[in-house]
Amino acid sequence: MSKNGVEKKAKNSSVLIGAAFIMATSAIGPGFLVQTAKFTNDVKANFGFVILVSVLLAMIVQLNVWRVLCVSELRGQDVANRLLPGLGYFVAFLVALGGLVFNIGNVGGGALGFNALLGIPKMAGYFISGGVAIAIFLLKNATKAMDTLTKVLGGCMIIVIFIVILIVKPPIGLAVKDTFLPSESMKNLIPAILTLLGGTVGGYITFSGAHRLIDAKITKEENLDEINRSSIMGIGIATLVRILLFLAVLGVVVKGIALAAENPAADAFRKGAGEIGYRFFGLVLLSAAITSIVGAAYTSVSFLKTFNKNIEKHEKWVIIGFIVISTIIMAIAGNPATLLILAGSLNGLILPVTLGICLIASQKKSIMGESYKHPKVLLILGIIVVVITAYLGVVSLGSLTKLFS
């Protein structure tokens, strides 16, 4: 292989890993930590089964979406516009709005992380969190810096949570048993499965890595094997962190220790590993928040940039503006509870819409090309997931009433 060929392969490998990490770390935000701790507290070792089922469903979503987008070389909104002119604008609006609202929560999570780790006041933490994310996009090679940041902080989270597991010594045997033979009724586990699915591949999250590959021109059928590997790697990283966090929290709650409802993840780390555990949690939360701010801003703007050449031309500054707006709203609102209710409802609606669009597109030669054949198994499983997530979307609409109560 020539020197240029070796360099291209190394560059592609870096982008493929970076795409996997940006998807995974977009999923691993402050909400991810709270969800995992809350459900582990509620259903104990049975949460292993919840993780298993949600991961299988998430893989179906991710493989379908990434294959369609990368083979067609079209971003999510462009695929939608090819199917039905104007539909892409609706999808872009939903995804960008959901991304903005979640980003407000991510900025708040970053402030809480700085507070737990270093004792920095929350108001200062909002602006420091936003500033760190902005600094990434001010660098000359922002996309490479983004890839590096998500890899480093993602690895940091894994190491820190693993250390806490060694301290709390969770019952691994019980966790394995209840993962495959849950003792809890399915009725009590289904809401957790649906919540985890939305939190892993809902809204902008599943598109983040695919759009990164499109930007890097790693597309078309000839690169399908690499695209699939990157897609599965992204789900795998998010799942690894979820499992480690589950075990860390399980090691605390099986001892009969109740977790504080307002911040169950922080409470689990503190009660399981003392003050150093609480500091560790601050580092995990900070890493999760910063990487999620970067991922949400990058992906939300990628949904908007093809509609206006000025947005694409000044993409870096639009992303920075997106982060600035998120930070200012968080600083003014202080507690974005109402916005997060809206975001949850939007996320519940976005996944079945976008996955449904990708499944229909997968059967259109005008979009996918004459030679591409979408695997029937993926198509059938994808349809099942659309039905499941559509149900979640309808249920999530009920939370909108809280906005006006």
pLDDT at 360: 96
CATH of the domain at 177: 1.20.1740.10
Asked if residue 1 is part of any domain, the answer here is no
Q: Is residue 266 part of a domain?
A: yes
Per-residue DSSP letter, 139: S
For residues 191 and 171, which has the higher predicted lDDT (pLDDT)?
171
Tell me whether residue 11 is in a domain. no
Structure tokens at 11: 């560059």
Any domain includes 372:
yes
82: tokens are 């090819």
pLDDT category at 229 given cuts 50, 70, 90 is very high
CA distances 238 to 58, 61, 201, 356, Å, are 11, 14, 10, 23
Q: What angle do CA 54, 58, 60 make, to 5 degrees?
A: 125
| The pLDDT value given to residue 357 | 94
pLDDT at 346: 63
**pLDDT exceeds cutoff 60 at 364:** yes
pLDDT band with cut points at 50, 70 and 90 for residue 176: very high
On the CB side of 237, CA atoms within 13 Å amount to 29
Q: What is the mean pLDDT of residues 306-324?
A: 88
Please give the radius of gyration of the chain, using alpha carbons only, rounded to the nearest integer: 20
- pLDDT tens column, 27-53: 888 888 888 888 899 899 999 999 999
CA pair distance 329, 331, nearest whole angstrom: 5
| CA distances, 404 to each of 339, 341, 372 (Å) | 12, 11, 48
Q: How far apart are CA 355 and CA 210, in angstroms?
A: 13
Distance CA 263, CA 28 (A): 16
Q: What pLDDT, on a 0 to 100 scale, did the predictor assign at position 404?
A: 47
Q: How far is CA 187 from the centre of its chain?
A: 26
Q: Which domain holds residue 394?
A: 16-404
Q: How far apart are CA 74 and CA 196, in angstroms?
A: 27
Residues of 334-345 as b/e, b for ≥16 C-beta within 10 angstroms? eebeebbbbbbb
Statement: residue 11 has pLDDT above 80? no
Is 232 part of any domain?
yes
Amino acid residing at 239: T
In a domain, 76, yes or no: yes
Identify the CA nearest to 129 among candidates 352, 361, 293: 293
Q: How many CA atoms lie within 13 A of 292 on its CB side?
A: 32
Rounded to whole angstroms, how far apart are CA atoms 273 and 282?
13
How many domains, the chain? Answer: 1
Q: Which of 75, 139, 136, 131 is nearest to 303 (CA)?
A: 75
The residue-averaged pLDDT of 344-367 equals 85
Is residue 5 a part of any domain in this protein? Answer: no
- Residue-wise pLDDT tens digits, 322-341: 999 999 999 988 765 555 55
Q: How many CB atoms lie within 10 A of CB 158?
A: 18
Average pLDDT of the segment spanning 300-320: 86
Going by C-alpha positions, the residue among 147, 141, 115 that lies closest to residue 128 is 115
Structure tokens that stand for 242 in this block: 């979820």
pLDDT at 333: 81
pLDDT at 378 over 60: yes
DSSP 230-265: HHHHHHHHHHHHHHHHHHHHHHHHTTTPPPPTT-HH
Residue 340 CA neighbour count, 13 Å, CB half? 16
Q: Pick the most confident of 180-189, 253-262, 304-313, 357-366.
A: 357-366
The answer to whether residue 321 scores a pLDDT higher than 50 is: yes
User: What does each C-alpha distance from 137 to 179, 231, 293 come to in angstroms?
Assistant: 41, 24, 12
Residue 339 lies in a domain: yes
